[in-house]
C-alpha cells in the first residue's frame, strides 16, 4: 500500500487543491491532473492506487475517461465524484465499472473510506497477479520429462499407468514427482495439481 | 321513310279535304276564299315534321287545285302557285322552328313574332299567288288587290285559328284526363259560345256586324281558362259556326269584314294566352326559387328566425328548433325575448354574443347576426343564431393547453437553472468543506489548544454543507416532475406546436415543411415532447431570421427507428458556430444576443429523463459545406399500439 497513489482528476483548481490537501493530511499520496487527457498522457503502467475523477469536465468527461481506461486495459479502480447527482449518469457510470459514486461536497471520512477500499482492491488484484507470475515462473523451471509426468498426473493417471505410458519404472515416476513438488514448493499432490491448473 | 311518306300523304288528303270544306265564296273559282284553314294545317305540318317536308306542301296545294277546283288555269301556273305556297310556309316554318316548338307561343315576344311572321308570309304568298294567275290571264289585273286582301286575311285567319291547336295535338293524350275532369266547364263554355253565335248570326238579321264584338267576352273567358289552346279552339269554333250558319247569307265583302274581326279576335286571344303562359312560367320559377330557399333554410346549419317588427317570431327553421329545443309551433308566434332575452332588434350584420334559453330552461351562448327586412319583404327582422358552446369549449381547451405548456416550460427552466446553479456552486462548496476539514486537522496538534477553534471550524463546515443541501433540495424539487406518459398521436401534437409558430414563420417568410411517417399512437409525455419541439423550432426560426430571405426553410421529420421515435428539426440557417459546438447542450452556452442558453440544456434533460436523447446531427456539422442545423431527437417508446 506504500506505493499507492490517489490520482485526482478535476478541472476545478480549488477542488483539486483542497482534496489534495485533505488527502495528504490523512496520509495519502496524491497526484493531481486538471483533465482526463492530461492523466492519460502521463499514465505509467506501474502506477498503483486509484483514480478520483470529476464527471463533468470540458473535453473528456468522467464517463469518457472510464471508456478510455477500459479500452487501454488500465485496471485502476475509478471513484467518481460529481456535483451532478442525477440518476441516469450514475447508472451509466456504475455500468461502466466505476468502483463507487460520490456526490459533492463529500464528507472526508466517507471519501477516505471509499478511496482506501479502492486501493485495497487494487492491491488484491496486484497480489493475485504477482502470485500468478510466481507460479508461472516456477512451472517454467520444470524439465520436459517432469512436465510430461505432471500433465499425465493432471489427467488423473496412477504412477503405474504413467510409468507404462512413458516406458519408465514406477520408481522413476516417484522420483520425478518428489523433485517437482520441491521445485513448485507444494506439500501435497492436490496442491501440485491446483498450481499446475 | 315509310312513316314520313304516310304522314305526307295523310297531310295532302287532309289539306284537300279542308280546302274543299272551306271553299266558300271563292273569287273567280280560284283558291281565293275568305278562310283558308289549309294554310294553318300546312304551317303546323311543316313545324311538326320539319321544313324539309316543304315539297309535300306544294304537292298538297297542287292536288287541291286539281281535285277541288278542277285545274282552273294552265298547268305551269298551277305548279308555280303551288310552289309559291309551299316555299312561303316552308320558309316561315324554318324561321319559327329556331325558337323551338315549346316556346313558339310561350311569351308575348314569341306570340308577336309568330303572328307577324304569319301575316307577312301570308301577304307574300297571296301576292305571289295572285300575280301568278294574273300572269296566266285567269285573274284580271283590276281584281288583283281584292284577291290579295281576301287571300291574305283568309290565310292569316287559318293560321291563327288552326296552327296553335294542331301544334298542341301531340300533347292531346296527356291533356285528356284534365279535359275530362273539366268536362262540365268545357261543355258550358262551348254551349255559351254556340248560343251567342246563334243569337248574333242565326236569329238576328245579317249585316249587323258591329255587334260581333260581343264575341270577345266568351273568347277571353275561354282563353283565361285554357290559354293559347283555348283561344285557338274558341276562334276555330266561331269560324266554323259562322261559315256554316252565315256564309250562305252574307255577301263576299261582309264575309271579309267578319274575317278581319275574327283575325283581331284570334290575335287578341293569342297574345292573352301568351301573357298567361308567361305568367305561369314566372310563377313556376318563383315557386322553384321559393322551394329552394325553403330547402336552404331547412338545411342551414345555423338557426334562422324571422320576426315581425314587434319581435314576434314568424318562422323558424329546423336548426332553430334544434337550437332552442322547441317545436316550430312553440317558436312561431312566441316573442323572441322569450328565447333570446338579451336580443335587441337592430339592423346590424356584425355578430354579437348573447345568451340563449332552451325550452328545457337550459342556457347557452349564442352568436347572433340580425338584419332588418323592408318591403317588398314582410317588414321585420331576420336573425341568424349559432350555438357557441362547443366552440367556446374548444377555445378553452386550447387556452388551457397553452397555459399548461407555458407552465411546464417555466418549471423546466427553473429546474435547469437550479441544476446548473447546484453544480456550479457545489464546486466551491466542495473546496470550502475540504479546506475547513484540512484546517481542523492542521489545528489539532497546535500548542494553543483552544477548543473553540475546532468548534468553530466544525460549525463552518456544517454551514457550507447546509448551503449545498439547500441547493440540492431546490434542484430535486424541480426535477421531481413526474412523467405523464399517455398514448398520443404524433401528427396533431406537431400541428399544435407548429401552429403556434405559423404567424412568426409567415412573417419571416419561412417555409415550414413536415414529413411525418408515424401514423399510430405512441406513448410519450405530451407536454415534454411539445416543449422540446417548441425549443427546437424557436431556435430554428431565430437562426433563419439572421439569414438572407428566400431560402428560409424548416423541415420537421418524424419516423420510427426500431423501437425508437426519431424526430428531426432541420433549418437552412447559419449553423452552429464551431466554438460553441462542443458545449452546445451545457447550460448558459448561447450565441444569441438575448438568450439564456438554457433551451437546449432543458430539452436534453427532459429527453434524457425519458431515456431519450437530443443531439446535433454530427454528419452535418462536420461538413464545412453544409449550412444550417439539424437536431435529432430520439425517444424510446414504452409501448406502441396501432391506432384503431
Chain segment B361-376, per-residue pLDDT in tens? 888 888 888 888 887 7
Q: What is the mean pLDDT of residues B427-440?
A: 90
Query: pLDDT category, A28, cuts 50, 70, 90?
Result: very high
Query: pLDDT category, B250, cuts 50, 70, 90?
Result: low
Mutation target to probe the A interface, by most A beta carbons within 10 A, among B428, B430, B458 is B430
Q: Report the percent of chain B where pLDDT is more than 90.
A: 5
Q: What is the mean pLDDT of residues B191-212?
A: 73
How far is the alpha carbon of B548 from chain A, nearest alpha carbon, in Å? 34
Neighbours of B450 (CB within 10 A): 10
Query: pLDDT category, B511, cuts 50, 70, 90?
Result: confident
Question: Using CB atoms and an 8 Å cut-off, which of residues 117-176 of chain A contact chain B?
Answer: none
Q: Is pLDDT of B641 > 60?
A: no
A82 to chain B: closest CA residue: B423
Test A18 with B438 for CB contact under 8 angstroms: yes
Q: What is the pLDDT of residue B640?
A: 44
Q: Which of the pair, A185 or B114, is modelled with greater confidence?
A: B114
Average pLDDT, chain A: 86
Kindly report which listed range (B480-484, B583-587, B633-637) carries the lowest average pLDDT score: B480-484
DSSP code string of B105-129: TSSHHHHHHHHHHHHHHHHHHHHHH
Q: Is pLDDT of B642 > 60?
A: no
Q: What is the pLDDT of residue B619?
A: 67
CB within 8 Å of A134: residues ≥ 6 apart: none
Kindly report which listed range (B64-73, B331-340, B479-488, B548-557) carries the lowest average pLDDT score: B479-488
CA distance B58 to B448: 156
CA distance A47 to A3: 8
Q: Residue B205 carries which DSSP code?
A: P
Q: Report the percent of chain A where pLDDT is more than 90.
A: 30
Using the Cβ of B419 and the Cβ atoms of chain A, whether some distance falls under 8 Å is answered with yes
Test B434 with A15 for CB contact under 8 angstroms: yes
pLDDT digits (tens, 9 = 90+) for A89-114: 777 777 778 888 888 888 888 999 99
- Which of B551, B580, B553, B571 minimizes the C-alpha distance to B631? B571
Q: Is the separation of the CB atoms in B65 and B33 below 8 Å?
A: no
Mutation target to probe the B interface, by most B beta carbons within 10 A, among A63, A90, A104, A111 is A104
Q: What is the mean pLDDT of residues B506-530?
A: 83
Chain B partners within 8 Å of A26 (Cβ): 441
DSSP code string of B375-441: TTSPSEEEEEEEE-HHHHHHHHHHHHHHHHHHHHHHHHHHHHHHHHHHHHHHHHHHHHHHHHHHHHH
How far is the alpha carbon of B407 from chain A, nearest alpha carbon, in Å? 23
Q: What is the pLDDT of residue A42?
A: 93
Strand partners, B511: B553
Chain B partners within 8 Å of A58 (Cβ): 582-583
Test B434 with A105 for CB contact under 8 angstroms: yes
Test A105 with B465 for CB contact under 8 angstroms: yes
A12 to chain B: closest CA residue: B427
Q: Is pLDDT of B254 > 50?
A: yes
Q: What is the mean pLDDT of residues B200-212?
A: 65
pLDDT digits (tens, 9 = 90+) for B104-162: 888 888 889 999 999 999 999 999 988 888 888 888 888 888 888 888 988 898 898 88
Using the Cβ of A17 and the Cβ atoms of chain B, whether some distance falls under 8 Å is answered with yes
Q: Is the separation of the CB atoms in B64 and B19 below 8 Å?
A: yes
Test A18 with B427 for CB contact under 8 angstroms: no
List the single residue in B422, B427, B442 with the smallest CB-CB distance to A25.
B442
Q: Is pLDDT of B439 > 80?
A: yes
Chain A partners within 8 Å of B422 (Cβ): 83
Mutation target to probe the A interface, by most A beta carbons within 10 A, among B424, B434, B605 is B434
CB within 8 Å of B350: residues ≥ 6 apart: B369
CB within 8 Å of B86: residues ≥ 6 apart: B42, B54, B55, B56, B57, B58, B59, B61
Chain A partners within 8 Å of B419 (Cβ): 84, 86
Measured CA distances, B519 to B513, B516, B552, B558 (Å): 17, 8, 28, 10
pLDDT digits (tens, 9 = 90+) for B61-103: 888 888 887 777 788 888 888 899 889 999 999 888 887 777 7
Q: What is the pLDDT of residue A115?
A: 93
Q: Is the separation of the CB atoms in B55 and B83 below 8 Å?
A: no
CA distance B266 to B232: 7
Strands B313-316 and B564-571: unpaired
Using the Cβ of A14 and the Cβ atoms of chain B, whether some distance falls under 8 Å is answered with yes
Mutation target to probe the A interface, by most A beta carbons within 10 A, among B431, B479, B608 is B431
A57 to chain B: closest CA residue: B583
Using the Cβ of A3 and the Cβ atoms of chain B, whether some distance falls under 8 Å is answered with no
CA distance A99 to A75: 11
3-class secondary structure, A197: coil
B583 to chain A: closest CA residue: A58
Q: Is pLDDT of B12 > 80?
A: yes
- Which of B629, B632, B608, B610 minimizes the C-alpha distance to B533? B632
| Torsions phi, psi for A8 (to 5 deg) | -95, 120
Query: What totals of helices (H) and strands (E) does chain B contain, helices first?
Result: 20, 12
- ipTM value: 0.73
How far is the alpha carbon of A193 from chain B, nearest alpha carbon, in Å? 51
Q: What is the pLDDT of residue A38?
A: 93
CB within 8 Å of B4: residues ≥ 6 apart: B49, B53
Q: What is the pLDDT of residue B284?
A: 92
Using N-to-C axis directions, what is the helix angle for B183-197 and B216-245, rounded to 10°?
Answer: 60
Kindly report which listed range (B64-68, B263-267, B452-456, B609-613) carries the lowest average pLDDT score: B609-613
Q: What is the mean pLDDT of residues B181-200?
A: 86
How many inter-chain contacts (A to B, CB under 8 Å) are there? 69
B584 to chain A: closest CA residue: A58
How far is the alpha carbon of B443 from chain A, nearest alpha carbon, in Å? 11
List the single residue in A18, A26, A56 with the smallest CB-CB distance to B435.
A18
Q: Where are the beta strands (DSSP E) in B448-508?
A: 485-489
Handedness of CA B9, B10, B14, B17 (dihedral sign): positive
Q: What is the pLDDT of residue B121?
A: 92
pLDDT digits (tens, 9 = 90+) for B455-465: 888 889 888 98
Q: What is the pLDDT of residue B392?
A: 84
pLDDT digits (tens, 9 = 90+) for B323-355: 888 888 888 888 888 888 887 777 666 678 888
- Which of B312, B383, B322 minimizes the C-alpha distance to B347? B383
CA distance B111 to B273: 9
Q: What is the pLDDT of residue A32?
A: 94
Strand partners, A80: A53, A101
Using the Cβ of A18 and the Cβ atoms of chain B, whether some distance falls under 8 Å is answered with yes
Q: What is the pLDDT of residue B347?
A: 62
Q: What is the pLDDT of residue B203?
A: 66
Q: Is the separation of the CB atoms in B356 and B366 below 8 Å?
A: yes
Q: Grid coordinates standing for B354?
A: 348573447
B207: left (phi over 0), alpha (psi -120 to 50) or beta: left
How far is the alpha carbon of B540 from chain A, nearest alpha carbon, in Å? 26
Q: Report the percent of chain B where pLDDT is more than 70.
A: 91
Using the Cβ of B462 and the Cβ atoms of chain A, whether some distance falls under 8 Å is answered with no
B420 to chain A: closest CA residue: A84
pLDDT digits (tens, 9 = 90+) for A41-77: 999 988 999 999 998 888 888 888 999 999 998 889 9
Question: Using CB atoms and an 8 Å cut-off, which of residues 19-78 of chain A contact chain B?
Answer: 19, 21-22, 25-26, 56, 58-59
Q: Is pLDDT of B451 > 80?
A: no
Average pLDDT, chain B: 82
Query: pLDDT category, B644, cuts 50, 70, 90?
Result: very low
Using the Cβ of B244 and the Cβ atoms of chain A, whether some distance falls under 8 Å is answered with no
Test B427 with A12 for CB contact under 8 angstroms: yes
Using the Cβ of B427 and the Cβ atoms of chain A, whether some distance falls under 8 Å is answered with yes
Angle at B192 between CA B191 and CA B194, to 5 degrees: 60
Q: What is the pLDDT of residue B524?
A: 80
Query: pLDDT category, A154, cuts 50, 70, 90?
Result: confident
Q: Is the separation of the CB atoms in A92 and A45 below 8 Å?
A: no
Using the Cβ of B429 and the Cβ atoms of chain A, whether some distance falls under 8 Å is answered with yes
Test B438 with A22 for CB contact under 8 angstroms: yes
Neighbours of A16 (CB within 10 A): 21
Amino acid at each position: 500500500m506504500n506505493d499507492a497513489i490517489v490520482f485526482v482528476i478535476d478541472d476545478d483548481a480549488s477542488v483539486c487543491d483542497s482534496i489534495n490537501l485533505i488527502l495528504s493530511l490523512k496520509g495519502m499520496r496524491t497526484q493531481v491532473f486538471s483533465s482526463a487527457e492530461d492523466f492519460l498522457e502521463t499514465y505509467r503502467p506501474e502506477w498503483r492506487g486509484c483514480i478520483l475523477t470529476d464527471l463533468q469536465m470540458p473535453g473528456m468527461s468522467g464517463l469518457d475517461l472510464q471508456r478510455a481506461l477500459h479500452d487501454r486495459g488500465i485496471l485502476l479502480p475509478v471513484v467518481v465524484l460529481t456535483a451532478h447527482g442525477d440518476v441516469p449518469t450514475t447508472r451509466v457510470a456504475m455500468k461502466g465499472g466505476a468502483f463507487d459514486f460520490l456526490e459533492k461536497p463529500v464528507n472526508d471520512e466517507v471519501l477516505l473510506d471509499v478511496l482506501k477500499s479502492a486501493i485495497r482492491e487494487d492491491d488484491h488484484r496486484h497480489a493475485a497477479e504477482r502470485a500468478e507470475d510466481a507460479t508461472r515462473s516456477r512451472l517454467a523451471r520444470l524439465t520436459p520429462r517432469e512436465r510430461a509426468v505432471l500433465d499425465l498426473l493432471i489427467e488423473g493417471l496412477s504412477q503405474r499407468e504413467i510409468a507404462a505410458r512413458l516406458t519408465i519404472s514406477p520408481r522413476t515416476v516417484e522420483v520425478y514427482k518428489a523433485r517437482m513438488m520441491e521445485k513448485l514448493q507444494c506439500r501435497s499432490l492436490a496442491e501440485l495439481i491446483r498450481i499446475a491448473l | 321513310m315509310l312513316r314520313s311518306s304516310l304522314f305526307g300523304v295523310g297531310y295532302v288528303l287532309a289539306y284537300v279535304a279542308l280546302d274543299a270544306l272551306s271553299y266558300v265564296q271563292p273569287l273567280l273559282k280560284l283558291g281565293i276564299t275568305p278562310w283558308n284553314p289549309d294554310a294553318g294545317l300546312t304551317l303546323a305540318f311543316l313545324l311538326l315534321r320539319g321544313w324539309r317536308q316543304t315539297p309535300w306542301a306544294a304537292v298538297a296545294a297542287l292536288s287541291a287545285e286539281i281535285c277541288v277546283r278542277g285545274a282552273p288555269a294552265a298547268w305551269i301556273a298551277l305548279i308555280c302557285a303551288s310552289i309559291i305556297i309551299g316555299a312561303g310556309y316552308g320558309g316561315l316554318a324554318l324561321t319559327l322552328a329556331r325558337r323551338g316548338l315549346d316556346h313558339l307561343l310561350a311569351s308575348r315576344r314569341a306570340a308577336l313574332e309568330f303572328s307577324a311572321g304569319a301575316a307577312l308570309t301570308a301577304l307574300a304568298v297571296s301576292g305571289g299567288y295572285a300575280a301568278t294567275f294574273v300572269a296566266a290571264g285567269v285573274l284580271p289585273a283590276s281584281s288583283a288587290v281584292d284577291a290579295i286582301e281576301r287571300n291574305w286575311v283568309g290565310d292569316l285567319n287559318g293560321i291563327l285559328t288552326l296552327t296553335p291547336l294542331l301544334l298542341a295535338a301531340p300533347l292531346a293524350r296527356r291533356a285528356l284526363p284534365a279535359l275530362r275532369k273539366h268536362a262540365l266547364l268545357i261543355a258550358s263554355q262551348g254551349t255559351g259560345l254556340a248560343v251567342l253565335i246563334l243569337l248574333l248570326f242565326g236569329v238576328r238579321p245579317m249585316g249587323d256586324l258591329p255587334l260581333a264584338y260581343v264575341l270577345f267576352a266568351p273568347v277571353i273567358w275561354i282563353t283565361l281558362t285554357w290559354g293559347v289552346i283555348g283561344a285557338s279552339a274558341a276562334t276555330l269554333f266561331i269560324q266554323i259556326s259562322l261559315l256554316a250558319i252565315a256564309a250562305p247569307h252574307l255577301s263576299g265583302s261582309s264575309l271579309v269584314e267578319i274575317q278581319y274581326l275574327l283575325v283581331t279576335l284570334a290575335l287578341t286571344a293569342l297574345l292573352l294566352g301568351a301573357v298567361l303562359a308567361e305568367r305561369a312560367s314566372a310563377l313556376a320559377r318563383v315557386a322553384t326559387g321559393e322551394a329552394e330557399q325553403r330547402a336552404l333554410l331547412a338545411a342551414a346549419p345555423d338557426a334562422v328566425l324571422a320576426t315581425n317588427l314587434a319581435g314576434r317570431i314568424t318562422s323558424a327553421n329546423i336548426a332553430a328548433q334544434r337550437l332552442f329545443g322547441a317545436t316550430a309551433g312553440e317558436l312561431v308566434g312566441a316573442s323572441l325575448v322569450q328565447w333570446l332575452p338579451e336580443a335587441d332588434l337592430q339592423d346590424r350584420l356584425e355578430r354579437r354574443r348573447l345568451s340563449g334559453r332552451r325550452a328545457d330552461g337550459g342556457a347557452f351562448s349564442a352568436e347572433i347576426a340580425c338584419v332588418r327586412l323592408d318591403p317588398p319583404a314582410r317588414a321585420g327582422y331576420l336573425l341568424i343564431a349559432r350555438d357557441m358552446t362547443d366552440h367556446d369549449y374548444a377555445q378553452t381547451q386550447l387556452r388551457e393547453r397553452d397555459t399548461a405548456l407555458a407552465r411546464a416550460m417555466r418549471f423546466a427552466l427553473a429546474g435547469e437553472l437550479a441544476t446548473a446553479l447546484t453544480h456550479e456552486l457545489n464546486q466551491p462548496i466542495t473546496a470550502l468543506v475540504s479546506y475547513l476539514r484540512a484546517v481542523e486537522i492542521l489545528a489539532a496538534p497546535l500548542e494553543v489548544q483552544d477548543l473553540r477553534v475546532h468548534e468553530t471550524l466544525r460549525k463552518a463546515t456544517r454551514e457550507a454543507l447546509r448551503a449545498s443541501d439547500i441547493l440540492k433540495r431546490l434542484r430535486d424539487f424541480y426535477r421531481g416532475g413526474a412523467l405523464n406518459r399517455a398514448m398520443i398521436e404524433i401528427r396533431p401534437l406537431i400541428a399544435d406546436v407548429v401552429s403556434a409558430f405559423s404567424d412568426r414563420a409567415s412573417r419571416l417568410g419561412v417555409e415550414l415543411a413536415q414529413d411525418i411517417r408515424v401514423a399510430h399512437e405512441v406513448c410519450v409525455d405530451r407536454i415534454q415532447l411539445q416543449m422540446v419541439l417548441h425549443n427546437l423550432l424557436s431556435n430554428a426560426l431565430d437562426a433563419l431570421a439572421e439569414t438572407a430571405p428566400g431560402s428560409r426553410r424548416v423541415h420537421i421529420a418524424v419516423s420510427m427507428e426500431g423501437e425508437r421515435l426519431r424526430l428531426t428539426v432541420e433549418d437552412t440557417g447559419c449553423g452552429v458556430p464551431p466554438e460553441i459546438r462542443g458545449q452546445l447542450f451545457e447550460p448558459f452556452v448561447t450565441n444569441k444576443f438575448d438568450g439564456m442558453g438554457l433551451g437546449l440544456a432543458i430539452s436534453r434533460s427532459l429527453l434524457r429523463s425519458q431515456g431519450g436523447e437530443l443531439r446535433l446531427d454530427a454528419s452535418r456539422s462536420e461538413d464545412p459545406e453544409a449550412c444550417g442545423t439539424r437536431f435529432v431527437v430520439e425517444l424510446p417508446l414504452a409501448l406502441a399500439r396501432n391506432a384503431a
